[in-house]
Chains A and B, each alone.
Chain A
Amino acid sequence: MNKFFRLSTSLLVFLQGLILVLVLFTDKIHIPLAFLGRMHPLVLHLPIGFGVFLVLIFVLKKWIDAQAFQEIFRFLLYLTSIFSAITAIFGMFLSSEGGYDLEQITFHQWAGLGVNWLYVLLLFVYEKGYLEGRNLFYGVLVGLASFFLAGHGGADLTHGEDYLWAKVDGEAVVLTEESVVFEAVIQPIFKQKCEACHNDQKTKGALNMSSIAKLLKGGKNGSIWKAGDPLNSHFIQRAKLPIDNKKHMPPKGKAQLSPDEVLLLTAWVQEGASVSKKLGSFGANSKLISLAKKLQNTAQALLIPVKVYDFSAASESNLAAANTPFCSVYPLSSDAPALQADFYVSKKYERKTLENLSKVSEQLVGLNLAKMPFKDEEIGLLTKFSNLEKLILNFTEITGKTLGELSACKHLTSLALSGTKVNKEVLVNLLGKIPSLKEVFIWNTGVSLDQVAGIQAQFPKVKIQAGYVLKDEQLQINPPILVTENFILKPNEDFVFKHTLKDVIFHYTLNDSTPDSLGALVSRGPLKIEKYSKVKVMATKPGWLASRVLEYKVYKSAFIPDSIYLLSKPDLKYPAKGGYSLKDFVQGFRETGRRSELPDYTWLGFFNNDLEALFEFKKPISPKGITFSYLRKTDSDVFPPVSIEVFAGNSPNALTRVALVKPEKPEKRNGYTQMGQDIPLKPGIYKYYKIKALSLRRLPKYLLKDDKKEEVVNKGKPAWLRVDEILFY
């Protein structure tokens, strides 16, 4: 410890010597240590801190032993002396940069040195033992006071003289024809953005902008503008330099001019840089005036009128207590004490929660109880909310007979009663009792439109919002919504539709004719389908126009074979899952893009080969017919079978032909179509059915004609036969 005090003493002597040199030879020394000077505002807080602690340590004196107290006191006194000296030295470095008011800087310098010397003196007399006990306390107290004296001078230098006492916000000046434009719009910019460094106390670059006269004198380079010539005006040039440029004004780190302000200053110089011209004497085309007005209008329009409430904010604990998961109570904004409360989830509504709001009854200005099972008896709970402005009671259970009690809410201006049982009498009574109301919402209540007109005439100051009026307009109903997901129906499956509106009837046809609301088949949901059909269906409801007609191809099966044996081999490209695929009730996928190159597992494909398959039923069946579903793509090379033959019998070896059909030959080029071929059967009961479908072996001519390319590739080639399902009905 002693080593520290020894070293400190030497350091202090050295610093005092340095100070002496600096004070005596101020003008002769140029110190290239600006960086240390800039540290002055940082370092100065250290001695102040130590100085404060020197005083505060007397509070602790009772609890620490005398020896320790003396050691700490001495330690702190050394530190205060050393750092006040360093601060003073750095301060002198900083002042050599210039730009400060001479009188002020001189005062601050000597005050700072005074502080330092005061502490050095204190240290000296303390070390010599001349000062102790209570006097010691007075000594450090005087030292601390001296800090404030010196510090205040420093602060004035940095922030300007009236920094402490100046008004925080300037008021917006209203522009009139008589306004002096310079005073109204230009000078305020100088005040805000420039004067901090160009004022009576601190005149950087010898420029003082604090008054018109001083401004007109200009800086060390003379006048800062050239009237009518913004490009050659010094301050405009500096303002437009990139921000990283050393000469950019205002300097980097200080408040910058906004782009609008630069435009405004430029326009002012352009239009003569007059400091006395009135707004009225500028021409109609003055860019300066239009800019000024625009800026002012923007500022005014964005000026948010702060609503002043004559109550204070609710306490945190009351606010927290009023909140529940199903009732949110929250401040409308951070600058006002007003609260809003919203209720959610009707089945969680409790009277208790509403009673609980009394904790914030004064602050509540908005309350939303929409859809809550809130009743007439509970209106009384709302009368406590003396500052309530907007109340929403839409779709609550009130009838309105107690609404008059709300006259206790003297500030209530907006009341929403939509969807309640409120009627004309209630409304008239209400409007009479609560004169503060400006707006009432009564859509979907017992108040009829004719009544609204009458009431509105009686209370012209209140806006009565009646909302949407059902027009005598017929709308087209939306079409049925398909519920069934698969278009290949199993034996007990129906083709099922639903509709989102109640009491809708579906009209449909199965024979490709357009349904109408008279002749067609009718259902309210499931459509009975017997066999492969083209279903056309639409929805109707009284009071609505019939819907669009929807079209579907539906396949239906009544018997599922127990086994299927493929007697001919499908092509390797479309093996599907063998015979099983003919009864898997999975519709063939449509191939797109690259997938068409892959073997597909939902279609059985035959190329240059016929389909021959044996169907086994363990119990003999008597179907009305068979549906053969296949793919047709005549713009490519997938064609219907040329003919389909059906053989039947009770043993696989004794089958007789029971049907032969020839599907319609395609006449035109057509795209991708999934088709069904109906094969009616005569009555008969059999266990085995064999089906033979012949594929087309030579593509027809028209396919070759249209597309030259295909002609070469497909000439004389066979067509594909692609089969999806074979269904017995």
Chain B
Amino acid sequence: MENEFLNSRLNVTRRHFFGQAAAGIGGLALGSLLVPDLWKGDSAANAMPLGMAHFAPKAKRIIYLCQNGAPSQLESFDYKPTLITRSGEDLPASIRGNQRLTGMTASQDKFPLMGSFFGFKQYGQSGAWISDIFPNIANIADDLCIIRTMNTDAINHDPALTFLQTGAQVGNRPSMGAWMSYGLGSENKNLPSFCVLLSRGRGNGQGVYSKLWTNGFLDSLHQGVVFSSSDDPILYLNDSDGIDKNARRRMLDELAELNHLGFDENKDPEVEAKVQQYEMAYRMQTAVPELTDLSKEPDHIIKMYGPDCLVPGTYAANALLARKLSESGVRFVQLYHQGWDTHGNLPKEMAMQAQDVDRSSAALITDLKQRGLLDETLVIWGGEFGRTNYCQGTYTVENYGRDHHPRAYSIFMAGGGVKPGIVYGETDEFGYNVVKDPVHIHDFHATVQHLMGLNHEQLTYKHLGRRYRLTDIAGNVIPGLLA
């Protein structure tokens, strides 16, 4: 027994110990004069106060429409007529350079260039070229900031998506949403500050895993909360039969008391996090019914988002729910729509995927705008990498596939302080390499944090002996993207 007690004392984490020591022993101030951060625990390591923007933010909230599986830039936002005129020709070695290939096309002896199956037209004042399968998104071109020069380090889905979401290809670093929750705190105390909505299209899909919305080494309070794709998006939220509000309240109070006893003994910060999560769930009981109630939405909202928005678990329904969550003060709403991995059968699959997301993605942006919320909400649309300009597998004009391509791909952002109505960056005539204004994933993260009023170099967390950031040791804010 005595041994167990002593062991529990060892559970005091190192960070905790230093945190307390630093607060308690004023004499150590001398040491801190000489080595400025000698005694700083993780919380004190930030010169900036936590839970607040460092400087006036452009965006208060983010809705990230992650197109999981990597939509082809060549059939969406990066128009390359050269690929059409030179269809079937081999990709020049000078263009490919030393780019590594995936195991899926590495053994191909030819890399026949492939033009887009779909037509392109110019839209908006910037004259942005947008493919015919995205007619609704094309209509709001003047609200969009299209980036054609995104590039990443990874070439396969899992590491690339993990990199996109957490800033590192290995798992277990905090996700973008978790960093925002940690850095900015929650706006609405009755809802989690980071919510995740999943949907699946009809194309070839790739998995999504909880490591994409993990809190990593941050408090588990910052973890993304996944909503169910059923009629009841948050399961087990309602009190069971026979339990009334007062009984629930008493139960939580007593439980918290027990947990605090436990905390006093073992000093595990996760106990505190747990208590707070119970409280959050209790408050969610009042906030959520209003969120999921679609009866107050005007009729033409349904026409805007498309009728699928009433079918739980569809992308359109998630886009509508994302608007409602964001409107209710959720800092970061993360959507994933699976099915963009078009290694084969691209024309058919891409058209189906576009049909799933085009109307509702555009509707979301318009909807935020008409409520006066677009200027304070950043909407991001895009995948983890691009697709090759050459064909994977058998080459026919109607049916072809494209492999993974990390060097250049397109995404778009809207609202929240990005420059509207522009097309940023240029790729070469083959759509293979960036020729002007590259935006690396780290730069993208730095820019997004900047828009949220956070200095990406100052939002840090000390873990395993060093400080971590979303951008880790890289990343520059891209001024050309800022309004």
Binding site for B on A (CB under 8 A): 41-42, 45, 297-298, 300-302, 304, 306-307, 325-326, 328, 330-336, 338, 340, 342, 344-348, 370-371, 390, 392, 394-395, 414-416, 418-419, 439, 441, 443-444, 465-468, 470, 473, 475-478, 481, 500-501, 544
The answer on a CB contact under 8 Å between A394 and B55 is no
* Of A302, A332, A370, the contact of B53 (CB 8 Å cutoff): A332
Given contacts A332-B57, A335-B54, A467-B367, 15 further A-B contacts (CB under 8 A): A300-B479, A304-B55, A334-B54, A342-B187, A342-B188, A345-B190, A345-B287, A370-B371, A441-B371, A465-B370, A467-B371, A468-B300, A468-B304, A468-B366, A475-B303
Q: A45-B30, A345-B190, A500-B310 are in contact. Are A416 and B450 (CB under 8 A)?
A: no
Q: Which residue of B lies closest to A344 (CB)?
A: B188
A-contacting residues, B344-391, CB 8 Å: 363, 366-367, 369-373
Please name all residues of chain B whose beta carbon is closer than 8 Å to the beta carbon of A304 when the two chains form the complex. 55-56
- B291-313 CB mask vs A (1 if < 8 Å, else 0) is 00000101010111011101100
A169–chain B nearest beta-carbon distance, Å: 15
* B residues in contact with A301, CB < 8 Å: 479-480, 482
Q: Give complex CA distance A297, B371 in Å.
A: 34
Q: Report the nearest B residue to A331, measured CB to CB.
A: B52
CB distance from B179 to the nearest CB of A (A): 17
**Within 8 Å CB of B477, what residues of A?**
298, 302
- Specify the chain A residue showing the minimal Cβ separation from B187: A328
Q: Is B189 an interface residue (CB 8 A)?
A: yes
| Residue from the set A301, A336, A466 with the largest chain B CB neighbour count within 10 Å | A301
B372 contacts A465, C-beta separation under 8 Å = yes
List residues 42-61 of chain B with CB under 8 A from any CB of chain A: 48-49, 52-57, 60
Q: Is the CB of B286 within 8 A of A345?
A: yes
- Residues of B within 8 Å of A394, CB to CB, are 371-372
CB pair B56–A336 under 8 Å, yes or no, is: yes
A345 to B371, CA, bound (A): 18
Decide: B55 and A335 in contact? CB cutoff 8 A: yes
Residues of A near B453 (CB, < 8 A) are 332-333
Closest to B453 in A: A333
Whether a CB of chain A sits under 8 angstroms from the CB of B19 is: no
Instruction: List the A residue with the shortest CB-CB distance to B480.
Output: A301
Q: In the assembled complex, which residues on chain A have CB atoms less than 8 Å from the CB atom of B49?
A: 334
Q: Find out whether the CB atom of A477 lies under 8 angstroms from the CB atom of B372.
A: no
Chain A interface mostly: loop
Least distance between B62 CB and chain A CB atoms (Å): 16
Beta-carbon contact of A418 and B56 below 8 Å: no
Contact B190 A441 (CB under 8 A): no
Q: Which of A42, A348, A392 contacts B372 (CB 8 A)?
A: A392
Instruction: Chain A residues near B302: list those with CB within 8 A.
Output: 501
CB distance from A640 to the nearest CB of B (A): 32
Verify B372–A297 contact, CB threshold 8 A. Answer: no
Partner pick for B300 among A326, A345, A415, A470, CB 8 A cutoff? A470
From A333, A415, A443, contact of B371 by CB (8 A) = A443
Q: Which residues of B contact A42 (CB under 8 A)?
A: 34
B-chain residues with CB within 8 Å of residue A481 when the two chains form the complex: 311
Looking at the assembled complex, report how far the CB atom of B262 sits from the nearest CB atom of chain A, in whole angstroms.
Answer: 26
B249 on interface, CB distance cutoff 8 Å? no
> Which of B49, B308, B479 has most A Cβ within 10 Å?
B479
Bound Cα distance from A721 to B479, whole angstroms? 71
A501 touches B370 (CB 8 A): no
Chain A residue nearest in CB terms to B58: A304
User: Is the beta-carbon distance between A444 and B286 smaller than 8 angstroms?
Assistant: no
Q: A306-B55, A334-B49 are in contact. Are A500 and B290 (CB under 8 A)?
A: no
Determine whether B86 belongs to the interface, using a CB cutoff of 8 Å to chain A.
no
Q: Are A325 and B283 in contact (CB under 8 A)?
A: yes
- For the complex, is B229 an interface residue (Cβ under 8 Å from A)? no
**A418 near B307 (CB under 8 angstroms)?**
no
Is the pair B372, A439 in contact by a Cβ cutoff of 8 Å?
A: yes
Which residues of the other chain, B, contact A347 by a CB distance below 8 angstroms? 286, 290
B327 at interface by CB-CB < 8 Å:
yes
Most A CB within 10 A of own CB, among B189, B302, B366: B189
Residue of A nearest to B374 (CB): A465
Summed over the interface, the residue pairs from A and B with CB atoms below 8 Å come to a total of 135
A414-B372, A470-B303, A500-B307 are contacts. A297–B479 as well, Cβ < 8 Å? yes
A325 CB contacts on chain B under 8 angstroms: 189-190, 283
Query: B369–A333 contact, CB under 8 A?
Result: no
* Closest B residue, CB atoms, query A294: B479
Q: What residues on A are CB-neighbors of B81 within 8 Å?
A: none
Q: Which residues of chain A have C-beta atoms less than 8 A from B206's C-beta? A: none
In the assembled complex, which residues on chain B have CB atoms less than 8 Å from the CB atom of A41?
Answer: 34
The chain A residue with its CB closest to the CB of B359 is: A475
Listed from nearest, the 7 A-B pairs whose CB atoms lie closest are: A467-B370, A301-B479, A500-B310, A416-B372, A443-B370, A333-B53, A478-B307
Decide: A302 and B450 in contact? CB cutoff 8 A: yes
- Nearest B residue (CB) for A335: B55
Closest CB-CB distance, A658 to chain B, in whole Å? 47
Interface residues of B in 307-332 (CB under 8 A from A): 307-308, 310-311, 327-329
- Given the complex of chains A and B, what is the CA–CA distance between A559 and B30 in angstroms? 90
In the bound complex, residues from chain A placing their C-beta under 8 Å from that of B57 are 332-333
Q: Check B286–A348 contact: CB distance below 8 A.
A: yes
Chain A residues, Cβ within 8 Å of B369: 465, 467
Residue B33 at the chain A interface, CB threshold 8 Å: yes
Complex-state Cα separation, A335 to B329, whole angstroms? 22
Bitwise interface map of B from 327 to 347 toward A, beta carbon under 8 Å scored 1, else 0 = 111000000000000000000
State in angstroms the CA–CA spacing of A326 and B477 once bound together.
Answer: 35
A247 to B370, CA, bound (A): 61
> B371 and A418: CB pair below 8 A?
yes
> In the bound complex, do residue A478 and residue B34 qualify as a contact, i.e. CB atoms below 8 Å apart?
no
- A contact residues around B296 at 8 Å (CB): 395
Contact call B329/A344, Cβ cutoff below 8 A: yes
**B328 contacts across to A, CB distance below 8 A:** 344
Whether the Cβ atoms of B298 and A419 lie closer than 8 Å is: yes
Please state if A477 and B56 are interface contacts (CB–CB under 8 Å): no
CB distance from B302 to the nearest CB of A (A): 7
Alpha-carbon gap, A41 to B302, bound state (A):
71
Instruction: Give the residues in chain A near B372, CB-CB below 8 Å.
Output: 390, 392, 394, 414-416, 418, 439, 441, 465
Q: How far is the CB of B341 from chain A (nearest CB, A)?
A: 22
Cα–Cα distance between A654 and B187 once the two chains are bound (Å): 80
Q: Once bound together, how far apart are the Cα atoms of A42 and B32, in whole Å?
A: 11
What is the CA–CA distance of A481 and B450 in the complex, to the nearest angstrom?
A: 44
Tell which of B298, B311, B480 touches A500, judged by Cβ atoms closer than 8 Å. B311
Contacts of B480 in A (CB 8 A): 301
| Interchain CB contact under 8 A, A333 and B52 | yes
Question: B329 touching A478 by the CB < 8 A rule?
Answer: no
What is the CA–CA distance of A346 and B134 in the complex, to the nearest angstrom? 37
Q: How far is the CB of B278 from chain A (nearest CB, A)?
A: 15
Give complex CA distance A419, B302 in Å.
15
In the complex, which residues 225-250 of chain B have their Cβ closer than 8 Å to any Cβ of chain A? none
Q: Which of B54, B302, B373, B476 counts the most A-chain CB atoms under 10 A from its CB?
A: B373
Q: List 6 A-B contacts (CB under 8 A).
A: A298-B476, A330-B185, A340-B60, A346-B290, A465-B372, A478-B306
Q: In the bound complex, what is the Cα–Cα distance between A444 and B367 (angstroms)?
A: 11
Assembled-state Cα–Cα distance A345/B479 (Å):
38
Residues on the A chain within 8 Å of B327, using CB? 370
Partner of B479, one of A298, A328, A332, A414: A298
> Taking CB as reference atom, which chain A residue is nearest B370?
A467
Per the bound structure, the CA–CA distance linking A326 and B290 in Å amounts to 13
Contacts of A443 in B (CB 8 A): 370-371
Q: Using Cβ atoms and an 8 Å threshold, which residues of chain A touch B300?
A: 444, 468, 470
The one of B34, B56, B310 in contact with A501, judged by C-beta atoms closer than 8 angstroms, is B310
A23 CB to nearest B CB, Å: 28
Contacts of B311 in A (CB 8 A): 478, 481, 500
Q: Which residue of A lies closest to B295 (CB)?
A: A502
Q: How far, in whole Å, are A333 and B60 apart by their CA atoms in the complex?
A: 10
CA A190 to CA B453, docked complex, whole Å = 31
Q: How far is the CA of A331 from the CA of B311 in the complex (A)?
A: 38
- Contact in complex: A334, B304 (CB < 8 Å): no
Q: With a CB–CB cut-off of 8 A, which chain B residues contact A418?
A: 370-372
> Does the CB pair A344–B310 fall under 8 Å?
no
